[in-house]
Structure 1
Amino acid sequence: MQRLSPLLLVFIPMLGLAVGATFWWNALEAMARAAWTIATLPVLMALFVQIVTSLRRGDVGLDVVAALSMSAALAFGEPLAGNVVALMYAGGQLLESFAQGRARREMTALLGRVARTAMRFRGSMLEETPISSIVPGDRLLIREGEVLPVDGRVAGAFALLNLSALTGESVPQRIAIGGEVLSGATSTGAAFELIATRVAAESTYAGIVRLVEAAQRNKAPMVRLADRYAMGFLALTLAIAGAAWIGAQDPIRALAVLVVATPCPLILAVPVAIISGMSRAARIGVLVKSGGVLETLARIRTAILDKTGTLTHGRATINAIRTSNGFSEVEVLRLAASLDQASGHVVAAALIEAATGRGLALSAPSEIDETPGLGIAGTVEERRVVVGGEDMVQRSVGGTDLEDLLAGLAPAAMTVAVAVDGKVAGVIVLEDRVRDDAAAMLTALRQAGVRRIVLASGDKVEIARVVGEQIGADLTLGNLSPQDKIAVVEAEAAAGPVMMVGDGVNDAPALAAADVGVAMGARGTAASSEAAAVVVLVDELKPLAAAIVIAGRTRSIALQSVFVGLGLSLAAMIAAALGYLPPVQGALLQEAIDIAVILNALRALR
């Protein structure tokens, strides 16, 4: 079927039916039968090529039934039935192609929006350059109507952006100077300057395109399960056809059974429903990497949530800086922010933003050694600097107690300790507010079928406990390393499929270990997005609960289409075996069943 146009394969049997009917009407029976036979052969030959190709891949499906029914119709002297089957089969393939194309529309629309060039400043001059040559720090001019080619920060003037390609939200958003923006958004206001923060290949939109392409190539477990059902249905079809032939001593009965089983809802409904569900999720800002992930998402019963950047805004602000050993607040912040330029953690971003906001000049760090979830060490201006949790900093200074610097702080206070050249330099006190809609989001998750919610954080137990109480988590765990988070995922998996939600480098191992890993792609790291099976493209969790509902509905629609379609096909096969359904009428009835199945599967788009 691939070598000839689907439209041509529909047109040939349609023309054959018309020509044959004309001959028949004029009492030219032999010529009518010849026209119907000739019109059947191109579809049959194309189908044989497709079957051989599938067999070489190790796939055997119900296309075999279609080939048998057309061959039997010609062999038993029923060319009209063969012509009708050829038309119905070619029409069904064309209808399936149309349905899948409509279902993919939301996802494939992403692929046509990739920017190729950008306007880059060279001194006071502008030059058009391929986006592959853009590096972090380049200053770009984004004009009205242009798609942002790379991730970056707004400079010069505020930006008015349409984020619908990323989030589904059609209302333009105003982004202030210094605000982070993602590639793939469209400028709808006046021109503004953009400071690139990632190369094009690592930017958000490029990652989305790669994920979409991978998702479209993936074959869902439910589709593979349908293939196994197809084998059983093929055997049942042949058994009923054989019994009808032997019982009635009439090969036409067997032909009628084969015709009414061609093709089967199994090879139509599942892929259409799965792609529809993935497209629907993409439309609300949740990118599901494969059909298999969508199926698993529908069965999630436990959600494990990271805290920073997931349940909180991930935009910590500095409340206070406490110093010791003669260090000033400015020096502590400048050295810590300089070192944190090498880290992707959201707290590091907060320190850098605070330092640059105060006009501090940051130095380039070297000899970096980061321990995800614990802290980072390195050299800044020939001084050894350590920034991170209390335990890591205390070990770096030989066990010196930080009690004096921490005195009077609330047990749940978020702190970052700083050591310089083996001495405690200070403690930076931060605040990261819980999202206003966090509790409502957890309620939505429970309504979507999640029975247990676990907060797993790398922060101190006291901090995690306060957040856990605010959102109503069933279990709160703190002070977890990346390995500890993997252990939590494995322990919770004993009760059913587990979903892990996070956004940092330290979450990536747990995301990969979970049945479904969900990365906060809008502000999360590239490592977490690559490790995750689902990427949330908006800076909120509400769409995730909606995606779980979409996944459950998609799975239900797919199974409904399969079993209802199979039931109707089986009933028609029995009627044909008993002589109540001639071949031509059977082919028409089967096509009606197929159309109903595909239309039902497309409901997953709504």
Structure 2
Amino acid sequence: MDHTRTDWLKTALLALAATCLGAGLVLRLLGNGELASAVWTAGVVPVLIALCAEIVLSLRRGDVGLDVVAALSMGAALVFGETLAASVVAVMYSGGTFLESVAEGRARREMRDLLARVPRSATRHRNGGLQDVPLEAVVAGDRLLIRQGDVVPVDGTVVSEIAYLDASALTGEALPVRLGNGDEAMSGATNAGEAFDLVAARTAGESTYAGIIRLVEEAERSRAPMSRLADRWSLGFLALTVTLALAAWGATGDPIRAVAVLVVATPCPLILAVPVALVAGLSRAARYGVLIKGAAPLEAMAHIRTLIFDKTGTLTDGRPQIVAVDSLGGLQPDEILRLAAALEQGSKHPVAQALVQSALARGLRLPVPQAIRETPGEGVEGQVEGRAVLSGGTGFVAGRLGTDHTPRSALAAGAVLVAVAVDGIMAGHIVMADPLRAEARDVLAGLRQLGATRILLATGDREEVAHRVTEGLGLDAVRAGLTPDLKVALVQEERRNGPVMMVGDGVNDAPALAAADVGVAMGARGAAASAEAADVVLLVDRIDRIGSGLDIARQSRAIAVQSVVAGIGLSVLGMIAAAVGLLTPVEGALLQEVIDVAVILNALRALRIVPQMADRQEAETPMT
């Protein structure tokens, strides 16, 4: 049964039960007690039938919950002529399930908003004009027009001078992001500026937003281990309830005492508070750009004490940046960079793309290169504005020039040296490196404050590079030169000390992400394989969101446990009061209704969680 039909049934049952309760009270006041009893019974029976059907379905799944107590209390009240109490229980039970449905609906609101924003078509440039085409028709290489207010339909590259994108629905970033010509745009963001052109990098089904939608749907279908644990706890509570009811009946000979005990225990906050609090936590985490695939990973995150980070693209930016441009002749550094970047436009190598982006960011004009010849993994040669330009590794360029030029020996570990020659003469070197993320130190310190006892680095890079880049981070261990299988072995080794979270972004991290108790993928720029293997996907390229996710998970679980303990404690006190005759069945039912409403409202506090690192995140978010 889908959510819409279920919600409609819960609404109808509540309306019927409440109407019959009100009508019966009016008839009782008018002195027609028998007709009032019949009306109350008419309102109880449909609720009892629906409840029994739900119990049968639960038993087929192997679940035994406190719905049994609700059925016993309504049935016993009818048998012993307490039709008013039965009617109150029916309203209470149907009202509780209705309130639970409303609460879960509110908690899932942000996730449903993601689904509602899925674009169905795109505007494509074709033969000098524009045409609206189904989203399925868009292929890589298509040039699309993204109008103001449009949702970007596919991942692609901006080919206009400037674009402003609002990615708040995906990442939680409050301010629009400014993109320039050549920048990558993520599907699912909204155009907050003027219309711009986008060249599709992949189809809609392969794009970021489609992957996010699949993760959302998977998250909504999940059920937390804590909820299953709650079902097991409910067996003990059910036994206690029945035992106390029978004891009260046996000790006094009054079956109404048993009815009062049953109604005050129905329904249990245990089956209401847990799912509401955890689903609210999922929704809240999504607002901060942390997409958790379900309630099970959310609960697992609450127990994490050991974190293992990949290096490239996780602790580091993952994109080489220019550290310096050294001129060896008469050309200025910017001219060396301009000529090299113009030539590198013809290459798809990551270093080449980084050179192009750096040159554009500096406002350098890049002419179209001619006669390009690329030696894969070595370098590129060609003509730029009539000049012969060579760009690549020092060995490649020196070999083409026929010289024995040796690069400087003081190059820092992990840096990349790009040699540039112009018209047969070595012009200079461009020094590039993959720097540590600006927020890395503060994030790791914040994770310590959140209870992380061990933080490790796991990388395939050389040991000297790993130690050099992470110097001063205060890591508990640095493991370098790891292949994917060795990363898995490290995760398994650390799991002996408690639950482990693995954070990575590459295809080589996917096995370790799957092996960890909680795998976290850098979804903004990471590989699809890592996002599929992970339990959590960061929708914004910032590792400080890991702290937000952990904090929200812990607070959500704490709220759920708090609601359960308080609700059951109050229910037990009410049951004892009913057993000794201090509460009538009607009074007990009303008391339990108050308890259920209170615990659900308390569980909804998870929607207002503000993680400890949130203020820092917002302060550090650059204005672009």
| TM-score bin (small chain) | 0.7 to 0.9
Per-residue deviation, 1:336 = 10
Paired with 1:551 and 1:363, the residues of 2 have a C-alpha distance of 53
The equivalent residue for 1:231 is: 235
Check if 1:512 corresponds to 2:519: no
- Give the letter aligned to residue 470 of structure 2: G
Report the residue type matching 1:93 in the other structure. T
Match of 2:615 in 1: none
Cα distance in structure 2, aligned partners of 1:303 and 1:405? 41
Shift, 1:174, TM fit = 1.4
Equivalent-residue separation in structure 2 for 1:349 and 1:484 (angstroms): 31
Summarize deviations over 1:446-468 as a string: whole Å, max 9, x none: 11111111122222211210222
User: Residue 585 of structure 2 aligns with which residue?
Assistant: 583
Aligned 8 A contact 1:265 1:565 in 2? yes
Deviation of 1:365 (Å): 11
Number of the residue aligned with 1:410: 411
* SS across alignment from 1:293: helix
**1:113 to 2:114 alignment:** no
Corresponding residue for residue 597 of structure 1: 599
Task: Write the letter of the residue equivalent to 2:138.
Answer: I
* 8 Å Cα contact 1:500/1:517 also seen in 2: yes
Give 1:209's aligned residue: 213
Instruction: Check the 8 A contact 2:342/2:367 in 1, yes or no.
Output: no
Cα distance change, pair 50–541 in 1 and its aligned pair in 2 (3 A) = same
C-alpha displacement at 1:312, in angstroms? 1.6
Structure 2 CA distance for partners of 1:135 and 1:415, relative to 1, 3 Å:
same
Deviation readout 1:507-566 (Å, 9 max, x if unpaired): 111111111111111111111111111111111111211111111111111111111111
- The question of 1:36 aligning with 2:18 is answered no
Q: Provide structure 2 residue ranges, at least 5 long, that are not aligned to the other structure.
A: 328-336, 361-365, 379-391, 396-403, 420-428, 609-624
Cα distance change, pair 413–19 in 1 and its aligned pair in 2 (3 A): closer
How do 1:306-345 and structure 2 match up within 5 A?
Answer: 306-317=310-321
The 5 Å alignment of 1:491-570 reads 491-570=493-572
Task: Find the counterpart in structure 2 of residue 192 from structure 1.
Answer: 196
291, 294, 299: which one aligns with 1:290: 294
Letter in 2 for 1:76: F
CA 1:389–1:46: 2 relative to 1, 3 Å: farther
| Matched AA of 2:314 | T
- Aligned partner of residue 450 in structure 1, secondary structure: coil
d(CA) in 1 for partners of 2:373 and 2:574? 75
Which residue matches 1:435?
Answer: 437
Q: Partners of 1:130 and 1:69 in 2: how far apart? A: 56
Residue 52 (structure 2) aligns with = 48
Could you state the TM-score of these two structures normalised by the residue count of structure 2? Answer: 0.83
| Counterpart mapping for 1:122-201 below 5 A | 122-201=126-205
Q: Does 1:9 align with 2:13?
A: yes
TM-score, normalised relative to structure 1: 0.86
Alignment check: 8 A CA contact 2:162 2:181 kept: yes
Query: Mapping of 1:75-90 within 5 angstroms?
Result: 75-90=79-94
Distance 1:3 1:538, change over 3 A: closer
Is 1:253 the counterpart of 2:257? The answer is yes
Quick one: which amino acid aligns to residue 573 of structure 1? M
- For the residue of structure 1 that corresponds to 2:525, the secondary structure is coil
Taking the aligned partners of 1:389 and 1:261, their CA distance within structure 2 comes to 75
Paired residues of 2:241 and 2:265 also in contact (CA < 8 A): yes
Partner of 2:459: 457
User: Greater shift after overlay, 32-41 or 180-189?
Assistant: 32-41
Letter in 2 for 1:293: P
CA drift at 1:471 = 2.4
Change (3 A) 1:363 1:54: farther
The residue matched to 1:129 in structure 2 has which SS?
strand
The number of residues matched between the two structures is 568
Deviation at 1:416, TM superposition (A): 8.5
- Corresponding position of 2:480: 478
Deviation of 1:567 after TM superposition, in Å, equals: 0.8
What CA distance in whole angstroms lies between the structure 2 residues aligned with 1:176 and 1:337?
A: 16
Matched, 1:74 2:84: no
Instruction: Note if contact 1:218-1:290 (Cα within 8 Å) is conserved in structure 2.
Output: yes
Partner of residue 385, structure 1: none
CA contact (8 A) 2:347 2:353 kept: no
Letter in 2 for 1:590: Q
Letter in 1 for 2:66: L
The 5 A counterparts of 1:370-449 are 408-410=409-411, 412-415=413-416, 430-449=432-451
Matched residue, 2:382: none
Q: Which amino acid aligns with 1:97?
A: S
Structure 1 position 20, deviation (Å): 1.6
Give unpaired runs (5+ residues) of structure 1. 323-328, 369-375, 378-387, 394-402, 419-426
Q: CA deviation at 1:27?
A: 2.0
1:27 aligns to what? 31
- Indicate the larger mover: 11-20 or 295-304: 11-20
Q: 1:414 to 1:574 in 2, by over 3 A?
A: same
Confirm or deny: 8 A CA contact 2:164 2:179 kept in the other structure.
Answer: yes
One-letter code of the match for 1:483? Answer: D
Contact 1:154 / 1:181 at 8 angstroms: preserved in 2?
yes
Contact 1:12 1:39 in 2 (8 A): yes
Distance in structure 2 (CA, Å) of the matches to 1:481 and 1:296: 26
Aligned mates of 2:11, 2:374 — CA distance in 1: 62
Aligned partner of 1:505: which letter?
V
Contact residue 468 and residue 475 of structure 1 kept, 8 A: no
8 Å CA contact 1:339–1:365 kept in 2: the answer is: yes
- Kindly tell me: are residues 330 and 549 of structure 1, through their superposed partners in 2, closer, same or farther at Cα, counting changes over 3 Å? closer
The amino acid across from 1:213 in the alignment is E
Structure-2 residue corresponding to 1:99: 103
Percent of residue pairs identical: 54
For the structure 1 residues 529 and 359, does the alpha-carbon distance in structure 2 shift closer, same or farther, using more than 3 Å as the test?
A: farther
The alignment partner of 1:295 has SS state of helix
For residues 78-112 of structure 1, give each alpha carbon's deviation from its aligned partner in whole angstroms, at most 9, with x where no partner exists. Answer: 11110110011111111111111111112111110
Q: Look up the equivalent residue of 1:602 and give its one-letter code.
A: L
* Paired residues of 1:138 and 1:195 also in contact (CA < 8 A): yes
Deviation at 1:434, TM superposition (A): 1.4
- In the alignment, residue 317 of structure 1 is paired with which amino acid? Q
Compared CA separation, residues 81 and 585, structure 1 to 2 (3 A): same
Structure 1 range deviating more: 480-489 or 354-363: 354-363
**Which whole-Å CA distance do the structure 1 matches of 2:305 and 2:588 have between them?**
44
Q: C-alpha deviations, 1:472-512, integer Å up to 9, x for none?
A: 22222222222222222122222111111111111111111
Letter in 2 for 1:523: R
**How big is the shift at 1:53?**
2.1
Find the partner of 2:471 among 463, 469, 492: 469
User: Which deviates further from its counterpart, 589-598 or 332-341?
Assistant: 332-341
TM-superposition CA deviations, 1:297-331 (whole Å, max 9, x none): 11111111111111122120366899xxxxxx999
List per-residue Cα deviations over 1:326-380 (Å, max 9, x = no partner): xxx9999999998866xxxx668647868997855899999x9xxxxxxx89xxx
CA distance in 1, matches of 2:605, 2:103: 11
Amino acid at match of 2:491: V
Q: Is the 8 A contact 1:144 1:191 kept in 2?
A: yes
Would the aligned equivalents of 2:321 and 2:435 in 1 still touch at CA under 8 Å?
A: no
Taking a change above 3 Å as real, the CA distance of residues 332 and 300 of structure 1, as seen in their structure-2 partners, is same
CA distance in 2, matches of 1:349, 1:517: 29
**Structure 1 residue 284 displacement after superposition:** 0.6
Give the aligned partner of residue 279 of structure 2.
275
Cα pair distance change 1:7/1:350, threshold 3 Å: same
